[in-house]
Each structure stands twice: as C-alpha cells, then as structure tokens.
Structure 1
Amino acid sequence: MQTDRTPPQPTAPATFAAAVAAAETALRPLFDPTPLQRNALLSDRYGADIWLKREDLTPVRSYKLRGALTAMRHALALRPGARFVCASAGNHAQGMAYACREFGAQGTIFMPVTTPQQKIQKTRMFGGDAVRIELVGDYFDHSLRAAQAMAQDSGSVFLSPFDDPDVILGQATVAHEILDQAVIAPDLIVLPVGGGGLAAGVTRLFAERAPATRVALVEPMGGASLHAALAAGHPVTLPAVDNFVDGAAVARIGDMPFAALSRFTADDLVLPPEDRICATMLEMLNVEGIVLEPAGALAIDALRDLGERGRLAGRQVVCLCSGGNFDFQRLPEVRERAQRHAGVKKYFILRLPQRPGALREFLNLLGPDDDIARFEYLKKSARNFGSVLIGIETTHPGNIAALNDRLEQAGMDWRDITGDVVLSEFLI
C-alpha cells in the first residue's frame, strides 16, 4: 500500500551506529523486529547457548527488505518522485518490490528468463502495480547489464543488492536488533556472505557497539568469492559458481563490502559443501519446523565446523538465518543431495554381461536394507555387455561399503559416479 512516509532530507549522524539506529527507527512503522530465538536442539548438540535471528520471518522472508527500504527511503528524500531499477532473481527483487509499493514509487526489476515462476509471481505480489518485471537473458549477468543500461539511459536510481552504502546501512539494522534483544552481547555471531552487504553492515556495527564479539563468516563452497578476494587482496571474479545456494553464490564480492571485510582472514571463514547444507535444511524443516532456503541455512550448517574448531562450547552464539524463500519443488533435489552427503545414496555404472541371470546375480548382492532407486539401461546394443545406471538407497553408509566389497569379490565391472560432477549432471 502507498503511504506518506517518505522522509524529509536526512542529516548525517555522527557515527555509523547512530546512523543504523536512525535507520532501524525508520523501519519500525513498516515491519516488526524479527525474533531472536534460543534453539534447544543446537544448544544441546554443541554445548553452547545457540540463538537464531529469524530474518526468514520478515514480510518478504529475507533480510533484503532492510537494505531496499533504507536505500529507497534515502533516495526519495534526495530525489522525490525518482524511479528505481534493479536486477535480481530472488530476495532483492522482492525487497525492492515491497519498498516500491510501500513508498508509492515506480520500479523496474530485471530477472533472467530462467527465473522460476514462483519467484516472479512473489515479486509481482509484493510490488503490485508499482513494479514492472522484465525477463532478459539466460543468466543474472545479462539481466544486470540490462538494468544498469536502463538506469543510465532513463536517469532511474539503480538499487544495488549489496554494493551501496545505504543498502549496507539498512542491512546493519539486523545487528542493532540483535544487540537490543540479547541480554548480553553474544560471544560469537555467525553470518552468511554472498555479495557481502549484510556482513559488511553487521560486522561494522558490532565493531562499534560490541567489539568483544567474534565473527564467523560463511560462504558456500561453490561460491566463495570473499575467500578468493582475501587470498588475492582485492575482489576477483570466480571463473565458475555452483548456483545451488542461490542467495549467496556470488561470483564477485562487492567492492564496498570487501573494504569492510578485508580485515578478516581465512581462519574467520567457513566454507560448507552444498550437499551438507541440504542436510541442515532438512533437519530444520523436519525437526524444528523452520523453512530455510539454502543461503538461510548457511550459518546453522557452519556450526558443525565451528564446533570442531572448538569455538562453540560454553559460548553464547547467534546464527543469522538470512532467508526462507524456499520453493518446495526443489525438495526432492535437497533430499537427494542430503542423502549423498550422508553416504546413504550412491549411483553406479554397472557393466552386465548380456546373458540370462546376470541381473539376478547383481540383485543377490544387495543387502537387506539396500533399495534400487534408479535403474536404466544406458547401452543395450553391445553384443556381450550392456551398461546400466543404478541408484542405491540404504539406511547406513556402512551398507554401501559392504556392497562395494561384495561387488569386488563377485568380479563385477562397476564404477561409482556419485562424486563425478560431469557424469552425475549428465546422467542423473
């Protein structure tokens, strides 16, 4: 809904903390603070006092709303009636759409043609008549170039998802809330990192208001742009990115966020594998009833590594759950990847002799808890042998090891392709 909350021209507060406090105050008429909740399951597991900051419970189910509202509010104070443009395939698009409708501004959102309809529809729902969605290109970079070109040609304000001081300021309001909600400042805060806007704002505020709090930064293993930038001493573009953790898999960290985060070292980073993140998502859904997108589960998943490093026991820890915009059509993929990580699902290429009884011989090698989840002939035309793709599900990783031993003893010609990225993507 359109409101009359467009503010007067702002004055610069004396400190970053004061600016964040003012930004947080301005957000309060728009949505309530997100909960800071103690999690008994994780606390018991790690012998620590684990709290979850539930940014998945904002009106758009992610923290991105904070930066979009703050940056748009400041832009409209300087340029009343300004139009806005952004490029995003997810949470930033929904945040900008919500902000446009709230402030009565007009915006254009560029999305890749490949964006799932669920995300497009949610963006339209939040923006209503205030936004226009343009589907351009197969990849985000194509949409980004189109958005930047439109902003330059039309004089619209380009609303960056992370490389903007007002966006960083808005994201820092989550840290202001944490410090207001916590009885004492936490010993450790665990933050997901994508483009870096959230981490830049939160770490800066904690440095001013709670300098004793330690920080752990978490990037998906397949999109560790901050890790690469720290190694190089400056932002670099990753040659390839695994887009599964789509809310944090960024090929290049923002210049402004990197300037704020360059004081950290590789020891402050955790790089969890994507398949393990899936296991964390399923546990949070099935045990705690918390719906998290892959990026939203990063901080919780990193507790596994931090616990092994001895950084959790006896400490008060806050994990920032950055978003819950999960498309349940992806649930089978999440379950599959979680099973692979747990070692209870494997894929084999098996070469079977083309004679009666050959398949029965293989089936007799399966254990009582082994189940065939996939069976497909890949080549039937060979005179003597045929190749078969077989997926096996079981109840314990030790069952797979035992099956491997039986296959070897029986002289079977087989190959485990579960970890072969090229073959897995092509065949499975």
Structure 2
Amino acid sequence: MKSYLQRILTASVYDVAEQTPLTRATNLSRRLGNEILLKREDMQPVFSFKIRGAYNKIASLTEAQRQKGVICSSAGNHAQGVAISAQKLGIKATIVMPRTTPSIKVDAVRNFGGRVVLHGDNYDAAKAHAAKLIEERGLTFIPPYDDPDVIAGQGTVGMEILSQHPRPIDAVFVPVGGGGLIAGIAAYIKQLRPDIRIIAVEPEDAPTLASAMAAGERVTLDEVGIFADGVAVRQIGEETFRIARELVDECMLVSTDEICAGIKDIFEDTRTVMEPAGALAVAGIKKYVEQRGVTGETLIGINCGANMNFSRLGHVAERAELGEHREAVLAVTIPERPGSFREFCETIGNRAITEFNYRFAHADEAHVFAGIGLNDGLAERDEVVEALQAKGYPVLDLTDDEMSKVHVRHMVGGRGHNVDHEVLYQVRFPERPGALLNFLKRLGRRWNISLFHYRNHGADYGRVLVGIQVPPDQREKFEESLDKLGYPYRNESDNPAYALFLS
C-alpha cells in the first residue's frame, strides 16, 4: 500500500480536475444527531469523480501511445472523464457506447471532443467492439477502475478529505461499483489514519463487493439492478478487490427507496440533484446511524456524481417518501356503500392520504390502493394498519412490495361494470389536512363514489378524478353541493378518454 501512497501524492489530476469542497449537510446533521459532511464530487467539470482516474491514467502514457490515441467503452461518467482528459492533453479519444445510450450522454462526450462510436445494444457489445478497434488501430484502452493509475487518481479524493478536515473523523462512506474509488480512498486514508472506518455502500440489487467479501473471492453476479446505473457492475475489479479486501471495514446495502430518500436529503441541503449512485453514501450513512444508534460522530459521504436523467426525477420523488418511511402503501378492502370512503378517512385520522386509487368492481366490497402519509416512520405504519384492522377492514401492507410500487399503483382501475348513472369530475382542492375529508363529507351518504384517483404531487393544491353515481334528476343538486364546498371542479363525463378506458 505504500506504493499507492506515493502514486496518490504524485497523481496528475489537477490540470483538469477540481479540488472539490467538503461541505456540512446542515439539515441532515441536525436530523441524525451527527456531523455529516459531503465530499462534493458532483462539482467536477464532468459532474463526477471519474475525471480524476481517467486523467491520471492518460497523463502517464508514453508519447507513442499518445500519438495513436486512447479508447474506452462506457455509457456513463467514465466516458466523459476520458473525453475531457484526452482533449486537455491533445490526444484523440474514441468512446464506444451502446446504441441505447441516452442522447444527453452522447452529446456530452462529443462536446468534450470525443469521437463517439455507437455499437451494440448493451455494454458487453460495446466493450467487445472496443477490443476489436484496439487490435485494428493500436489504441490504448483506458479502464474505468481496475488499474493502478486510475485507482491512484481516485485516491486523491481521500487525500483532499484529510487535508480539508484534520479533526477527528469516525467513518467515510464510499459508493462502490467496480471499486476504483473505494480502493484509492482506502489506500490513502488507512496509511495515514487507520482509525477511520472505510464503509462501502452498494445497492441491494448490485452487491458486487459485499458478495466478494462474503465469498472471500471475486464473484460474478448473475444480474444487477440498473437503477443506480453508475455502480451497476457484475464483478469487482481484481486489483480493487485486493485492496478493498484488506482495507475496507464494512459493506452496507441500501434499497432503491433509501437511495431516492438520499437524493432528496442531498437536494434539501445543497439544492443539487444527485444521480442514484451519487446518493449511495448518504443512504448508507442514514442506515448506519439508524442501525447503530450513534450520536456525535463525524461521518463523511462521497457524493460521487450528479449526471441524472431529467426523466427519472418523477420516479425518484415518488419513491423518496417511502425511503424516509413517510408513506405507507396499503391495499384495503372497504364496504361498497355511500360514505364508506369517508369512514375510511376518519379511521386514518389527521394523517394525509397521499394517494387513493379505486374503481367500482363488485356490489358488496371495494379494493382500494391507498398511500398514507406518516410522521413517525415504521411505528406509525404499524399503528395505522392496526387501527384499520380494528375497524374490520382487511389490510395488506404493500409498502415493501416492489411490483406494487412500480406497476400496480398505476394500473388500479379500468372499466367499470354495471355502474349506473355515473358522472365524472375533476376537482381541485387546497393541499392541507382535512381538505379531502371535507370533500367527502359534502358528498355525504347521498351519492356513491364509483371511481377515485388522487396522488399528492407536492403542490399547493390537490387534483382528484372522481366518478360518482348521480341519477339525472339529482345532478343539479349534486353540483349545488360542490358549489357550496368552494373547490374548483369540471365535469369530464364527455371526455373521450373516459369513454375509451373507464366507462
């Protein structure tokens, strides 16, 4: 490891990389009762730490190698790191990317001067084509993690942490994919401060290092989850595992919901949106504090990247509340009669209903998909379930069921059968406690709700799509009730989408 200490101290990274700040996460520190510091690698020119290792490797090449050019196969942050590093050194760079790579990433590489070759439908196909080009053109391959120069470049993150925070540090939490970042950080910190714990954080569905540690050797995972695509690696590197096996103190696994909650936590402290891999460390810190009950410690998380696709933000926001244990997702069976939804809401009490999906299907009972807002985490979730069961409602807790959270919640409903005199309305009401219950009380027991869809989107008003069985001779009186309530509404019974999919 002493050779790595020298490599890191002499690494050539600052011609292109920045010394990123180590900032205090004020809100998170207060909530967790510990001093939480964030190493802001999202502030690099390519919004990721990958620029460090890529530049250090390319800067070490011989003149002959530079003349022929470099190549890498990557659809992520490593591609941008190689492209900008080669541009800085005046070297031609070829980046082989799968054809399925989002255009934002392809354009970013081209903007940094890289020659993009789109080949194959996945990373393995792109990597195989890169190997073919190396053989044909004599290009030098720039590996993403399993190389001493790349590891040393990433190790400068650890060097900066110790210089920026010479005071006591209890643990450093590091995201792990191929292992280059944690190998470099551990190789430096453990030489100078062996008392500092180095904790690896991985997604539950991509436990590359954790599986290797448990087996005592490198293993190839059959498949890995791709939500945190920046660390979606099936096998840890050979050299990175050699270092991690000796120096890493612990591996932690976190769920997709916990990662999303970590993205939200970082945003609330920095107003920056991390990519899923970039929030792994914070998710690990939160789980560590919860499991160990530690207080007053100094814990550092590596925000390793912020190359988030905008299209994923909605999914992240939806899952963050579950990751914070601020929402329970329940399937509840209620009687099919006027007023039953109101009784359900009264049983919930003052808690917010964050989502409610329902479609009339049976004359005697209704199955509803409901989201319930929580203030006190898992204990309150149990309390809600017990309260509903005490009232005689059959309840199925789906909060931890992945299929329900990803798919079923959007598929509840469909066409109603034998629904007489149904009219459809969009209703807008203020997003405050009791507003939804007021709406239901106004309906009273006179009219039966046959369709209901609501989801809290964090705005200052809520939007409900509601189907109600109102005989034609009562419709004027029904709208008078809505007028008295004062919530804006619109009759959507003639909407063609309603005719096609719901009526």
Q: TM-score, length-normalised on structure 1?
A: 0.82
Question: What is the deviation of 1:328?
Answer: 3.5
What is the aligned partner in structure 1 of residue 251 from structure 2? Answer: 269
SS at match of 1:271: strand
Within a 5 Å distance, the mapping from 1:27-66 to structure 2 comes to: 27-66=13-52
Task: Note if 1:392 corresponds to 2:371.
Answer: yes
The residue type paired with residue 17 of structure 1 is L
| Structure 1 counterpart of 2:73, from 68, 84, 87 | 87
Question: What is the deviation of 1:55?
Answer: 0.9
- CA distance in structure 2 between the aligned counterparts of 1:209 and 1:406, rounded to whole angstroms: 55
| Structure 1 counterpart of 2:107, from 108, 114, 121 | 121
The residue type paired with residue 136 of structure 1 is G
What is the aligned partner in structure 1 of residue 132 from structure 2? Answer: 149
Question: What is the deviation of 1:245?
Answer: 1.8
- Maintained 8 Å contact 1:185/1:210: no
- Maintained 8 Å contact 2:262/2:283: yes
Deviation digits for residues 324-363 of structure 1, max 9, x if unmatched?
2223432221122122233443444556787877777766
Distance 1:145 1:350, change over 3 A: farther
SS at match of 2:357: strand
- CA distance in structure 2 between the aligned counterparts of 1:218 and 1:269, rounded to whole angstroms: 6
- CA distance in structure 2 between the aligned counterparts of 1:113 and 1:31, rounded to whole angstroms: 29
- Maintained 8 Å contact 2:16/2:55: no
- CA distance in structure 1 between the aligned counterparts of 2:380 and 2:36, rounded to whole angstroms: 34
The residue type paired with residue 390 of structure 1 is F
The residue type paired with residue 196 of structure 1 is G
Question: What is the deviation of 1:170?
Answer: 1.1
Q: Which moved more, 1:409-418 or 1:140-149?
A: 409-418
SS at match of 2:273: coil
| Structure 2 counterpart of 1:294, from 270, 276, 286 | 276
Question: What is the deviation of 1:174?
Answer: 1.6
Task: Note if 1:284 corresponds to 2:266.
Answer: yes
What is the aligned partner in structure 2 of residue 15 from structure 1? Answer: 3
Q: Which moved more, 1:42-51 or 1:338-347?
A: 42-51
- Maintained 8 Å contact 1:347/1:389: no
Structure 1, gaps ≥5 residues long: 1-13
- CA distance in structure 1 between the aligned counterparts of 2:399 and 2:324, rounded to whole angstroms: 12
| RMSD after superposition | 3.2
Distance 1:368 1:99, change over 3 A: same
- CA distance in structure 2 between the aligned counterparts of 1:223 and 1:120, rounded to whole angstroms: 25
> Bigger radius of gyration, 1 or 2?
2
The residue type paired with residue 371 of structure 1 is I
- Maintained 8 Å contact 1:367/1:399: no
- Maintained 8 Å contact 1:76/1:82: no
Deviation digits for residues 123-152 of structure 1, max 9, x if unmatched?
333x23x32141521x33333333333333
SS at match of 2:39: strand
What is the aligned partner in structure 2 of residue 427 from structure 1? Answer: 408
- CA distance in structure 2 between the aligned counterparts of 1:337 and 1:357, rounded to whole angstroms: 31
Deviation digits for residues 19-56 of structure 1, max 9, x if unmatched?
22221xx3223243111234444444555544322111
Question: What is the deviation of 1:63?
Answer: 0.5
**Higher relative contact order structure (alpha carbons within 8 Å, sequence separation ≥ 6):** 1
Question: What is the deviation of 1:410?
Answer: 5.5
- CA distance in structure 2 between the aligned counterparts of 1:30 and 1:124, rounded to whole angstroms: 17
What is the aligned partner in structure 2 of residue 330 from structure 1? Answer: 312
Distance 1:42 1:400, change over 3 A: closer
Task: Note if 1:417 corresponds to 2:405.
Answer: no
SS at match of 1:15: helix
Q: Which moved more, 1:139-148 or 1:88-97?
A: 139-148
SS at match of 2:219: coil
What is the aligned partner in structure 1 of residue 300 from structure 2? Answer: 318
- CA distance in structure 1 between the aligned counterparts of 2:146 and 2:180, rounded to whole angstroms: 7
- Maintained 8 Å contact 1:376/1:388: yes
| Structure 1 counterpart of 2:289, from 307, 315, 335 | 307
The residue type paired with residue 131 of structure 1 is R
SS at match of 1:222: coil
What is the aligned partner in structure 2 of residue 194 from structure 1? Answer: 177
Q: Percent identity?
A: 33
Distance 1:37 1:422, change over 3 A: closer
- CA distance in structure 1 between the aligned counterparts of 2:277 and 2:251, rounded to whole angstroms: 15
SS at match of 1:219: strand
